[in-house]
């Protein structure tokens, strides 16, 4: 079975900025994950 993902996810701080695409796909705004810092993860990877 082939399925197609027709959803696009964005950060919650961008809520409303991509609503114009709702007629083409599901637009989802996700909350930040508490206590996870992308900046901190990048620092660790670079070390």
| DSSP string over 1-39 | ------EEEEEGGGTTTTGGGTTTSEEEEEPPPTT--HH
Higher pLDDT, 18 or 33: 18
1 in a structural domain: no
* Calculated CA dihedral for residues 14, 18, 19, 25, nearest 10 degrees: -130
User: For the chain, how many structural domains are there in total?
Assistant: 1
24 in a structural domain: yes
29 in a structural domain: yes
Higher pLDDT, 43 or 2: 43
User: In this predicted model, what pLDDT tens digit does every residue of 7-26 receive, in sequence order?
Assistant: 888 889 999 999 999 999 99
Q: Which domain, by its residues, includes 26?
A: 7-46
Is the entire prediction scored with pTM above 0.85?
Answer: no
DSSP 8-state secondary structure symbol assigned to residue 37: -
End-to-end Cα separation, the chain, in angstroms: 43
2 in a structural domain: no
């Amino acid at each position: 079975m082939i399925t197609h993902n027709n959803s696009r996810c964005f950060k919650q701080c961008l809520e409303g900025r991509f609503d114009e695409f709702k007629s083409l796909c599901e637009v989802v705004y996700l909350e930040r994950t508490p206590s996870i810092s992308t900046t901190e993860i990048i620092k660790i990877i670079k070390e």
